[in-house]
Chains A and B, each alone.
Chain A
Amino acid sequence: MNSARPAVASYFDLSGRTIVITGGAGLLGLQHAEAIALAGGVPVLLDLAAADPRGRAGELAERCGRDAVGMTVDITSLADVQRACAELIASRRRIDGLINNAANNPKVEAGQKESWTRVENFPLDVWHADISVGLTGAFNCSRVFGAQMATQGAGVILNIASDLALISPDQRLYRKPGLSDDAQPVKPISYSVVKAGLVGMTRYLATYWAPMNVRVNALCPGGMFNGQPPDFVDRLTSLIPLGRMAALGEYRGAVVFMCSDASSYMTGAVISIDGGRTVW
């Protein structure tokens, strides 16, 4: 066992690794990107122009004192993803990881009734848009960047699913006082479908690309505290053994673990980071 060198630095080190993050300019995407950068890797933030991936990457690079790349890409367009991959290969020669993080998280728009998310009312165009970003986008990126990593003979894909890929939303969490049952807002069905779909994609691709040494795993994070109303937080945390929501940045350890050689024998794994919510 003298060959064992389990020092932290070598196990979790991402030096020289280029890791693509979809939805990279969003709240959670930036956390993943910072984790990658601080472990020595180069995060590549893909996002829509409105999210300003280049600007966000520049700020991140300055804040961490590391390289970061931002690219304006619509992941629902295969051609756009192919273009991004070609540009990256031209500049960085290889791609070492992909984090499929992008998902629509529809908010109630001003003036709209809270009940628009209910199954009976759910607009078909929202359904299509959610599937398009969350699943088709993840498929496009896995297909293009995954094939590139398979050609290189190494790489990792990390799909960001959710605790709601494993359990149903408890709709009582989202209730608003003073509304009748059929007017209550709910967590949209598309969210559960997209996240459960990512878990299926994880397992499929894990066996598909295992011979080419591309590992594919999923994280199932629970809700992250981001200033939600106290009554919502109270209701949610009563469902969690650790008695709290995740803190901003509390998923960074898992991201570095799964993107680095520390998880070299893990593929097809689905890892919950939910404070124990799915345990009882």
Chain B
Amino acid sequence: MVGLSAHQLFSLDGKTVLLTGATGFLGRTFGRAALENGATVIALSRPERLSRQVQEWRAEFGESRVRGYAVDMYDLPQLESVLGQIVDREGFVEVVVNNAHELGAKTGFNTPHGGLESATHDQWMRNLTAGVYWASVVVQRLGPAMKEHGRGSIVNIATMYGLVAPSPSLYTGTEFMNPPGYSAGKAALLAFTRYVASFWGPHGVRSNAIVPGPFSNTDGDSENAVGRDDPFLERLRERTCLRRIGAPNELVGALLFLASDASSFVTGQALVVDGGWTVT
């Protein structure tokens, strides 16, 4: 049984967390949350922003607490090779957070060519690869050590669009577009989450998903960013029960709950953090 105080209950002290998409809008917050709560973090990301992020975290949390691995996850042989290095060097990784996705024109986001009528094979494959295949490769490589140790927590970051469809009216008259492959890939991720829970539950390995609602990137530093005063945000706010979009910090509770021993009897679940979007 875990400790009883709130601090002990949700702590990641002594655990190693592998995080994909570590420099993205949500990934930055997940990485920091894991570090602030005692974990050692293995950060995977494309090279562009990784070294700066790793330096920043090392300066704050100590050299030994952060390892960065640069990888273009669409380069599957490279991904396999990086995961092989991680298994060799890091050994048992107790927590895996499958967070990476590509939210841009190449996956059909925010382009008139990304929709149902015109989405390309390449856009579809990039969505399905990022949506579910990356998680499957990471879990396949890191799972054996989890099974061997009889414990492990896999946290997959999905989306409400794996449960409900985007409404076309949200996008009318805007340049925004949420492609069909994203919904399909993330719905597949939820199915994969349950599959792992079922097959590795007997080995003590838990597998759950976080299902975020609207957590628009208002930081303005990437292809999927939305301006803070964009009327599109007002449409999103209107659609939720709480009448606001979520801030990345509001996913931290769910992450710490699922990653830590506080959720030791929780597996196969899709934890919905959506301000009530899917409840109506």
A interface vs B, CB < 8 Å? 1, 4-9, 11-14, 34-35, 38-40, 203, 206-207, 210-211, 213, 215, 222, 240-243, 246-247, 249-254, 256-257, 260-269, 271-276, 278-280
Distance A13 CA – B256 CA, assembled complex (angstroms): 14
B267 interface neighbour in A203, A241, A261, Cβ under 8 Å: A241
A-B contact pairs, 19 of them (CB 8 A): A1-B28, A4-B29, A5-B249, A7-B37, A11-B256, A12-B6, A12-B10, A38-B6, A240-B201, A241-B201, A246-B265, A247-B265, A252-B9, A254-B262, A254-B263, A257-B254, A265-B275, A266-B274, A273-B263
Closest 5 CB pairs of A and B: A262-B253, A241-B201, A253-B262, A268-B279, A279-B268
Does B1 make an interface contact (CB < 8 A)? yes
Stretch at the interface among B79-87, B226-234, B240-248: B240-248
B6 interface neighbour in A8, A247, A276, Cβ under 8 Å: A8
Interface residues of B in 1-48 (CB under 8 A from A): 1-2, 4-7, 9-11, 28-29, 32-33, 36-37
Residue numbers in B under 8 Å from A210 (CB-CB): 241-243, 276
Residue numbers in B under 8 Å from A263 (CB-CB): 253-254, 273
Q: A4-B29, A254-B263 are in contact. Are A9 and B7 (CB under 8 A)?
A: yes
In the assembled complex, how far is the CB of residue B176 from the closest CB belonging to chain A, in whole angstroms?
21
Secondary structure at the A interface, as helix, strand, loop or mixed, is loop
Distance A264 CA – B248 CA, assembled complex (angstroms): 11
B interface vs A, CB < 8 Å? 1-2, 4-7, 9-11, 28-29, 32-33, 36-37, 194, 197-198, 201-202, 204, 206, 213, 219, 241-243, 246-254, 256-257, 260-269, 271-276, 278-280
Distance A263 CA – B253 CA, assembled complex (angstroms): 6
Q: Are B253 and A12 in contact (CB-based, < 8 A)?
A: yes
In the assembled complex, how far is the CB of residue B208 from the closest CB belonging to chain A, in whole angstroms?
10
Q: Are A250 and B264 in contact (CB-based, < 8 A)?
A: yes
Among A222, A247, A261, A279, the one with the most B-chain Cβ atoms within 10 Å of its Cβ is A279
Residue numbers in B under 8 Å from A275 (CB-CB): 201, 265, 267
In the assembled complex, how far is the CB of residue A154 from the closest CB belonging to chain B, in whole angstroms?
12
Distance A233 CA – B81 CA, assembled complex (angstroms): 44
Residue numbers in B under 8 Å from A278 (CB-CB): 268
Q: Are B243 and A273 in contact (CB-based, < 8 A)?
A: no
Distance A167 CA – B275 CA, assembled complex (angstroms): 26
Q: Are A1 and B32 in contact (CB-based, < 8 A)?
A: yes
Q: Are B253 and A241 in contact (CB-based, < 8 A)?
A: no
**CB closest chain-A residue, reference B260:** A253
Other A-B contacts than A6-B36, A280-B268, 7 sampled, CB-CB below 8 A, are: A207-B280, A210-B243, A243-B201, A262-B254, A265-B247, A271-B266, A279-B194
Q: Are B266 and A206 in contact (CB-based, < 8 A)?
A: no
Q: A39-B5, A267-B276, A279-B267 are in contact. Are A6 and B254 (CB under 8 A)?
A: no
**CB closest chain-B residue, reference A15:** B6
Q: Are A241 and B252 in contact (CB-based, < 8 A)?
A: no
Distance A215 CA – B247 CA, assembled complex (angstroms): 17
Q: Are B268 and A262 in contact (CB-based, < 8 A)?
A: no
Q: Are A13 and B6 in contact (CB-based, < 8 A)?
A: yes
Q: Are A207 and B248 in contact (CB-based, < 8 A)?
A: no
Q: Are A273 and B256 in contact (CB-based, < 8 A)?
A: no
Distance A54 CA – B4 CA, assembled complex (angstroms): 23
B256 interface neighbour in A34, A35, A262, A267, Cβ under 8 Å: A262
Q: Are B279 and A247 in contact (CB-based, < 8 A)?
A: no
B241 interface neighbour in A12, A242, A268, A280, Cβ under 8 Å: A268
Q: Are A243 and B202 in contact (CB-based, < 8 A)?
A: yes
Among A213, A241, A243, A274, the one with the most B-chain Cβ atoms within 10 Å of its Cβ is A241
Distance A271 CA – B262 CA, assembled complex (angstroms): 14
In the assembled complex, how far is the CB of residue A163 from the closest CB belonging to chain B, in whole angstroms?
11
In the assembled complex, how far is the CB of residue B14 from the closest CB belonging to chain A, in whole angstroms?
14
Q: Are A279 and B197 in contact (CB-based, < 8 A)?
A: yes
A254 interface neighbour in B37, B257, B261, Cβ under 8 Å: B257
Distance A206 CA – B272 CA, assembled complex (angstroms): 13
Residue numbers in A under 8 Å from B219 (CB-CB): 1
Q: Are B198 and A266 in contact (CB-based, < 8 A)?
A: no
In the assembled complex, how far is the CB of residue A256 from the closest CB belonging to chain B, in whole angstroms?
6
Residue numbers in A under 8 Å from B254 (CB-CB): 257, 262-263, 266
Q: Are A269 and B267 in contact (CB-based, < 8 A)?
A: no
Q: Are A6 and B249 in contact (CB-based, < 8 A)?
A: yes
Q: Are B32 and A4 in contact (CB-based, < 8 A)?
A: yes
Distance A36 CA – B204 CA, assembled complex (angstroms): 28
A253 interface neighbour in B9, B247, B269, Cβ under 8 Å: B9
